[in-house]
Structure 1
Amino acid sequence: MSWAVEAVKNLRLNCVIFEVSSKEVYELITKSLRGPRDCLVLNNLRALLHTAGISRFPGNYHITYVHHSLNRVASEIAASVTRDLRLQFYVASGGPCWL
């Protein structure tokens, strides 16, 4: 999630929907946006969301929960990226050529 937020911030993208496949992670992220948390990872993510202007949820940004069965393509991309160590940013180019 931090990588995605950082990419959105650096590339100055707008109209972005962040989809999270874990209900627990979604709840932790959205609740951390409403109040303080002791978890360092969540605090860092919250700060990153704030500096990217996402914590205020303007009309162009949204974080949503999507059940993993409905997010199969994203899961396959993530598995391929991590398995093949394709760790460079590909957001700006509209997707990797190997899709």
Structure 2
Amino acid sequence: MDTQIQQACEEARIWNELNDDPAGETVGTGLLDESKNWEPPIYGFAKCNIHANWRNAKLHSGGAFIIRDSSGNVLHHARDAFTFSPNRLTSELRCMEWALQSMQDLGYKEIIIASDLHDLITAVTKSTEWPRFRLLLHCISNLCLQFEAVAFETESSLSNSIARKIAKSVLRDGRFQSYLALGGPAWLHQQIFREAALIRS
């Protein structure tokens, strides 16, 4: 099992090196510059953009994911509320664990998980350097073993904006009931269509 985890982490590290844009990083915040368009996964993979809307340790966090294929078609999206987390990274790790479990339950095999929090992707791909979060990271590593292939990708906040908007609606609109749906949310249809159209242009 340890060998499989190391192999998965190494593949994720290589994926990040090939797909990350270091020039766009903002030092100190863990966020990337808002200039990059959403990019589809390679054929055969599903790409799951995630976001946890964390405000402070006393409030719930809103979580969301949206899964798209290589043509930009939305396969599933979901929203949930998480109980109090002491910091944003904990909230994002819980969101990733939830998204991975959901994708496993839905039968996905080859996946890419994308987030605009650079520290989240670093923690997952270099878990030994983040001992404070070892329990969550261990759960995430075990979930990754259930897939045929898993990769991690850092997004800009702009290219992750659909997941961000869905997550923000939890606290903004008081939508604490979780749900999972086929396709994308109707209120973000135009943005989803525009991002898919960019792939074909």
What corresponds to 2:144 in structure 1?
Answer: 49
Q: CA contact under 8 A between 2:114 and 2:152: conserved in structure 1?
A: yes
Residue 29 (str. 1) matches residue 124 (str. 2):
yes
Q: CA contact under 8 A between 2:115 and 2:153: conserved in structure 1?
A: yes
Larger gyration radius, structure 1 or structure 2: 2
Q: How does 1:1-99 map to 2 (within 5 A)?
A: 1-32=96-127, 38=131, 39-50=134-145, 52-53=146-147, 58=149, 61-80=150-169, 82-83=170-171, 84-90=175-181, 93-99=182-188
Task: Letter of the 1:69 partner, please give it.
Answer: L
Gaps of 5+ in 1: none
State the alpha-carbon separation in 1 of the partners of residues 137 and 110 from structure 2.
23
| RMSD across aligned positions (CA) | 2.3
If each structure's strand is expressed as a fraction of its own residues, which one has the higher value?
A: 2
Q: Aligned to 1:19, what secondary structure does the other structure show?
A: strand
Asked which structure has the greater RCO (Cα within 8 Å, sep 6+), the reply is 1
Identity rate of aligned residues, in percent? 24
Gaps of 5+ in 2: 1-95, 189-201
Deviation of residue 37 (structure 1)? 6.3
TM-score by length of 2: 0.38
Task: Letter of the 1:66 partner, please give it.
Answer: E
Number of residue equivalences:
88
**Cα deviation 1:45-84 (Å, max 9, x = unaligned):** 111111x225xxx3xx43101021321121001111x221
State the alpha-carbon separation in 2 of the partners of residues 15 and 41 from structure 1.
22
State the alpha-carbon separation in 2 of the partners of residues 15 and 3 from structure 1.
17
Task: Letter of the 2:125 partner, please give it.
Answer: T
C-alpha change, 1:21 and 1:36, in structure 2 (3 Å) is: closer
